[in-house]
Structure 1
Amino acid sequence: MTLLVNNISFSYPKKDVINNIAFSLRQGDYLAVLGTNGAGKSTLLKCLNKILKPQSGVVYINGIDSSRLKGPELAKNIAYVPQSHDCSKKTVFDSILLGRKPYIKWDVTQRDIDIVENVLKLLNLENYSMRYTNELSGGELQKVIIARALVQEPKVLLMDEPTSNLDLKNQIEVLKTIKYIVNERKISAIVAMHDLNLALRFANKFLLLKEGEVFDFGDATILNSELIKNVYDIDVAIEEFSGIPVVIPI
């Protein structure tokens, strides 16, 4: 078991955000976290990464209580790609190299450089390596932030709407790359998403949140028109095209 989330809850003063969230993932699982705006998707990811401290519940990574993991050890286990990020003036290479910080003791090693170069190639960023991040488009910068998370070599990769600034081609490219890495490196990925069709195309597990609670959790068989109506309050049909399920609003 890579990740076990055991009944975590979080609230702000006078506002409950998530309540008793529980699920588990194994190596190679690609989880799409789905739900309407305000359902608690971003808060859940921040609780998993200890950006926010749950009022109750425990998160285990490979059997270890994540609350006991500090600084570099946490970063070696969980990498997080937020919705927004800074674009201070660094080269793309140096910005991605920052993801190796948990592993660097005295100086950057050849292995650190090799890992960065491999990820640059994986995300088709080789030609951008010496450009400054504050000169990039929103989509290009998003890929750099994803690359920084990948070079951490985490056991669990958390991504909060990673395709929000990407065009259609880059959305497919990035999510396909994440799926490849999940399968190749046997890690787990948790991706908060709005696009049900992208979720169905790439994820193998689905967590549906409604009003801060788990409405359903499972594989693609749980995603039917009745469930989507209950969560999103919209009628849909689900058809198959070239072996891929497609959600069509009615």
Structure 2
Amino acid sequence: MERLVIQARSLLEKKSKGNDVYVVISLGKEKYRTSVQEQTKSPYWNEECDLVIPQDRKPLKLKVFHRSLSALSSDDFLGQALIPIQDIDMDAQPRAKWYTLESKPSKKAAVKERGELEVKISFIVKSQIDSSKLSAGPLGKRTLSSTSIGKIKKRSGSLLSLSKKATSGSVRNLASSVGKVFTLGRKKDKNKASADSASVTSSIDGRDSDLERDINTNPFEDDTSFGEKAEEPPKKGI
């Protein structure tokens, strides 16, 4: 809940030159104090504060004081306004309203006109990024809701896409490089195989020529024991 303290009028006068006025706003255990407007009969603050509405829906209290400069005395009470929270229309457009200042409930004194205080009240739902998006998870841990995770994913989508593109590109480059290495390796292996086959063919051709030469050449040409006929012994007469 946001509360805007604008100004006051017709306050009880504690000094001839005007009061040194400030306002204390309290809602449950929370309190807020405005600045001090010095020597004025119609103080103007135009200050705002944020207060969390308690579960017990206690009324909003605004107490107006005159500051005392004496160390021996406390500040003078000028009046207060009690505003029930349930009486405020939360859906209505916030507007400034004058509230009549009253005496303390315990004080049995003659009713005095203590003046009025202009206040503007508006109800604000805190943004989800501040409170509602932080939900209590198991073991009391604070976790982000799915809405906030979706926004994170949406914001970081470009980064994720970029990383995917970079990864795919690097994989393509790596595959291309490896392909080139494999291709070169195959070419080298093919050339080596061609050279090896050529040397094998050459050796086979050499062996064939040697074999053919050996076949065409008579190995017994120079050997008389096998190349010539043995002389027959002379025949003896009978």
- What TM-score does the superposition give when structure 1 sets the normalisation length? 0.18
Return the structure number with greater relative CO, CA threshold 8 A, min gap 6.
1
Which has more helix, going by share of residues?
A: 1
- What TM-score does the superposition give when structure 2 sets the normalisation length? 0.18
Q: Which structure: larger Rg?
A: 2
